[in-house]
Amino acid sequence: MVVIHCISLPQGRYGTPYVDDLFQGRLDTSVHPSFADLSGVRVSAHVVIDRRGRCVQYVPFDQRAWHAGVSQWNRRQGCNDFGIGIELEGTETSTYTARQYRSLNRLLAALLERYPRLHPGAIVGHCEIAPQRKRDPGPKFDWVRCLQGLDC
């Protein structure tokens, strides 16, 4: 499965070095008051797609990333164990950019080709695997645009 997330640090600010710092385990949580909750947090994603559509890979697709937390999909617990996490730079209430959708479409197409058991129905939002805790990628995320051209 693939789980679509969103992230910005601080919330709603883009192009900062803090997402990279977080996923590389070197975030200085004293830099911004909103980072206090991130102290000691172990989190990662397979890929982050920034507002310009640039993809940065943090974890190889065949390795476990810490992106889903307590989660369940199709009655299977622990989505970190079998899911690929893709973070879009944004917020739950922001509109994502055309460049992000283009990069996401290319990445999803490549993943579908690489993993024959993966299918468009297994591309979900964080909100679907942890509905009591998470709302991302948010109501402005365009699922039709995301899945466009993926042989749905």
pLDDT digit string, tens, across residues 48-95: 999 999 999 999 999 999 999 999 999 999 999 999 999 999 999 999
To the query of whether residue 89 is one of the catalytic residues in this protein, the response is no
Instruction: Read off the pTM.
Output: 0.96
Q: What is the mean pLDDT of residues 128-144?
A: 97
In the CATH scheme, what architecture does the domain 2-147 have? 3-Layer(aba) Sandwich (3.40)
Say how many C-beta atoms besides its own lie within 10 A of residue 44's C-beta: 19
Mean pLDDT of the chain: 96
Q: Given the residues 87, 89, 92, 113, select the one marked as catalytic.
A: 87
Please tell me the total number of residues recorded for the chain in this structure. 152
Cβ(147)–Cβ(10) under 8 Å? no
Confidence tier at 151 by pLDDT (50, 70, 90): low
